[in-house]
Structure 1
Amino acid sequence: MNSRHIFSMCNKLLIQQTITRGNSFKIVKRPDPKTLKMPAPGTAPSIMDIIKEKIRLNGPITVAEYMHIIITNPTEGYYMKKEVIGQGGDFITSPEISQLFGEILGVWFFSETQKLGTSKPLQIVELGPGNATLLIDVLRVVNRLGYKPKDLSIHLVEISSTMQLVQANKLCVSHREVSIEKPHNYEGETISGIKVYWYNDLKKVPNNFSWYIAHEFFDVMPIHKFEKTNDGWRELLIDLDGQEKLYYRITAEETVSCKSLIKPPIDSGDRTELEISARSLGIARQLATRVDKYGGIALIADYGHEGEKGDTFRAFHKHQVVNPLENPGKCDLTADVDFFQLRIAASKTPSTENFALVMGPVKQKDFLERCQAQVRLKVLMDNAKSDEDREKIKKSYEMLVEPTKMGDRFKFMAFYPSSMVDLLNKYPPLGFSTPKSED
């Protein structure tokens, strides 16, 4: 039987068996996003259970995945459940130590902005605003410098609804959730009428002239950890041992992260350990591009290094350093910021556009003292109501600048528009250069 007869027979059978199809689908009503609610804290699986199940299903996870789960889990994540900053939390920040810190930053932004000309209308954009203490101190300065509510707006990048509410209660006389169609998810007004907006991503913040503040923001960004072996760079992963405890293990082969993140000049020198945050590099690039294209200045303040350190990943609980693989979700995970890598991500080069002029890093001690922090310190002490208050003010300042405390470990870096190169050569950036002595 030839092929023609076979096809002819099949066609007859198929024709005879042809049926009319009806509706073979079921209409399903999608849930209304406006009515969806997150489960109450404590009713969802614990962070440890989530991590263990993920490892059982998919194998070892990267340190970046581990941090991401702990930071962003909507109900059990570290920043989602409680206030974590201050004496009663797991760590304390410079703005919580002294009002002088935020005031100096406000003066710094204003001073550097004068080199650009007009700065109105102005957006103040803070990434990870914490308890909003820094922003309150900056706004106090801005008010003294003549900015009216119509001249500025505040834009806060915050993923934690808990911290968002803390910030709103401190900053605003009224605040509310908004429609899911809007780029921001929360809004409010200060007592003077300044509009405040909250976002879960920097990309959603309007592209306008802005002061960008990132204080102790990059140190919590998820990192990949790498070690150099005889066979080249390999990634450290987190796995479960026989007792159901988390531990580190090293990959036998190069991972995708090894191939995509470890590139010259990041892997230069004789380093045998690396920590790279892809998220940090992306945000640094965003800030640099925004500053260069739309105007403004970005200031980064964090504890970190200039590429000389390798293993800095750790956890804090009640102000004490603890094992980062124990009690996930209950401790603050952090890693020193590699300012060398941020510079690479943000710096303008001859072959690229929309990148910034990068200044720093400089030590916190040097930055504050070059910005005349001691002058402000004297004013605060002269206006103190008692000797006890004066002593507190003095000790707080010493905490900020002493090399053995925060003075050396914390560093500052700034991004300026690339068009300012001539201006900055003529008028060096405040805080990042030694002021000329007056005759």
Structure 2
Amino acid sequence: MSLKDRLAREIALTGPMTVADYVVRCLHDPQDGYYATRPAIGAGGDFITAPMVSQMFGELIGLWAIELWRRLGAPERLRLVEVGPGDGTLMADALRAARLDPDFLHAVDLVLIEPSPPLRAAQARMLADSDVHPRWVSALARIETDAPVILIANEVLDCLPARQFVRTEDGWAERRIGVDDHGGLTFGLVKITGGFRRPDFSVEPGQTIEISDQQAAFGRDLGTLIKAAGGAALLIDYGRAKPEAGDTLQALKRHRKVDPLETPGEADLTQWADFPTVLEAAVHAGADVTGCRSQGEFLRRLGIEHRAAALKAGRPEAAATIDRQLGRLIDDAQMGSLFKACSLFSPRSLAVPGFED
């Protein structure tokens, strides 16, 4: 029985399913979930991430980590953590760039957090010949706090789903997934009768807001870790930098948007990162935070244009390709503006590279 059929049967028995619960099942169902069984990342898959656009992205993150380590006083032990490392490309490029400082590599304990068995296997293959051998843990709470932490989370928040609430003419309702008369999955509204955390910004009738308990929990757990261990976390994702309405649920299959209800488990489902919620939770947990910068501005501050010029000087025949890659990462019409970067850090005196005023 397909995941779609199993979900339809479950909904028929127990009632409409929240959008957040539906996304979790589609991504992580042990039998048919997208990340549990068939993640397809890259040009030949369903979607592509910044590290796969160009080596420059991961290289600059590696140099960012070295500079941050130095600002922490170059400790002899350092926990370098990546959450959701994909196929391992970002970390492979970062560690290659980090060869510029052998003392940094000598200090590193490399920890990866990845729930997907197929992706863990891909990461192991990608990093098999790296200067630092990784180990895997299941959650932020499993990371030791006896050494400073430098953590990277690129396109992780968009995998942490949100419930959706719609303001109607008669009040608020939750958008849920039900079953139609033909046994197919369909969206519908369930009127809210109990307590509900109403937004503190204006929402017009017909508009949707998204509330992600998972993103808030991630911010809390990450803030707790950074406060306890010291160091900084870098979050890069596409999403909102201020509270606002919007339905951002989307499904991607072979680089095209498809109906999120059509083929559960066979497409990647995402929702926008809610940076205000994540950062607020981190502050409540004791960490300090930066504001959000666009990915384009952040990468420029790290020197991506200089790195592109150096690559073109070394490979003149690839200049046009490098220019296209650079444009995709930093141009406002591509990833440069929609994608945001921010940081959580401790102690308060730490100046995080790329976020200085």
Instruction: Give the TM-score range, shorter chain.
Output: over 0.9
Counterpart mapping for 1:135-150 below 5 A: 135-147=91-103, 150=106
Aligned 8 A contact 2:218 2:278 in 1: no
Instruction: Determine if contact 2:95/2:130 at 8 Å carries over to the other structure.
Output: no
Higher RCO, 1 or 2 (CA under 8 Å, sep at least 6)? Answer: 2
| SS at structure 2 position matched to 1:287 | helix
Please state how far the C-alpha of 1:83 moved relative to its aligned partner: 4.0
Higher-Rg structure is 1
- Equivalent residue number for residue 202 of structure 1: 140
TM-score, with structure 1 as normaliser: 0.76
Residues 65 and 96 from structure 1, CA distance in 2 versus in 1: closer, same or farther, beyond 3 angstroms? same
Contact 1:109 1:297 in 2 (8 A): no
Name the counterpart of 2:154.
215
- 1:150 is displaced (CA, Å) by 4.5
Query: CA offsets, 1:303-323, max 9 Å, x none?
Result: 011223421111111111111
Confirm whether residue 332 of structure 1 aligns to residue 264 of structure 2: no
- Matched residue type, 1:368: L
Which AA in structure 2 matches 1:305? R
Report the CA distance between 1:220 and its aligned residue. 1.1
Aligned to 2:82: 126
Counterpart Cα distance in 2 of 1:252 and 1:171: 50
Unaligned runs of 5+ in 1: 1-44, 173-189, 349-353, 435-439
Q: Is the 8 A contact 2:37 2:118 kept in 1?
A: yes
The 3-state SS of whatever aligns with 1:91 is: coil
Does residue 241 of structure 1 match 2:180? yes
Residue 395 of structure 1 aligns with an amino acid whose one-letter code is: R
For residue 69 of structure 2, what is the amino acid of its counterpart? T
The residue that corresponds to 1:15 in the other structure is none
Deviates further, 202-211 or 236-245 = 202-211
Alignment match, 1:283: 218
Partner of 1:430: 353
Q: RMSD of the alignment, in Å?
A: 1.8
Aligned residues: 352
2:295 to 357, 364, 367: 364
| Percent identity of equivalent pairs | 33
Residue 410 of structure 1 aligns with which residue? 339
Tell me if 1:382 matches 2:318: no
Deviations 1:191-242 (A, max 9, x none): 54x3321123222222342111110011011211111234543211100000
How far apart, CA to CA, are the structure 2 residues paired with 1:392 and 1:47? 40
Helix, strand or coil for the counterpart of 1:347?
Answer: helix
* Equivalence for 1:27: none
Mapped partners of 1:333, 1:315: distance in 2: 4
Cα deviation for residue 160 of structure 1 reads 1.0
Report how far residue 123 of structure 1 moved. Answer: 1.3
AA matched with 1:124: L
| 1:38 corresponding residue in structure 2 | none
Match of 2:283 in 1: 347
Equivalent-residue separation in structure 2 for 1:119 and 1:394 (angstroms): 37
Distance in 1 (alpha carbons) for counterparts of 2:135 and 2:104: 17
Is the Cα–Cα contact under 8 Å of residues 304 and 409 in structure 1 kept in the other structure?
yes
C-alpha separation in 2, matches of 1:111 and 1:317: 38
Q: Given the alignment of the two structures, is residue 311 of structure 1 paired with residue 267 of structure 2, yes or no?
A: no
| Residues 1:191 and 1:334: Cα distance change in structure 2 (over 3 Å) | closer
Residue 432 (structure 1) shift: 2.4
Alignment check: 8 A CA contact 2:38 2:266 kept: no
1:58 corresponds to: 14
Question: Closer, same or farther in 2 for the Cα pair 1:115/1:46, shift >3 Å?
Answer: same
* One-letter amino acid of the counterpart of residue 359, structure 1: T
Of 205, 222, 232, the residue aligned with 1:297 is 232
Q: Find the aligned partners of 2:24 and 2:163 in 1 and give their Cα distance.
A: 11
Q: Check 1:228–1:83 CA distance in 2 against 1; reply closer, same or farther (3 A cut).
A: closer
Q: Which residue of structure 2 aligns with residue 22 of structure 1?
A: none
CA distance in 2, matches of 1:134, 1:347: 27
Contact 1:362 1:412 in 2 (8 A): yes
Is the alpha carbon distance of 1:241 and 1:370 closer, same or farther for their aligned partners in structure 2, counting shifts above 3 Å? Answer: same
Give the one of 323, 337, 350 matched to 2:259. 323
Q: 1:191 to 1:402 in 2, by over 3 A?
A: closer
Distance 1:246 1:197, change over 3 A: same
* Structure 1 position 393, deviation (Å): 1.0
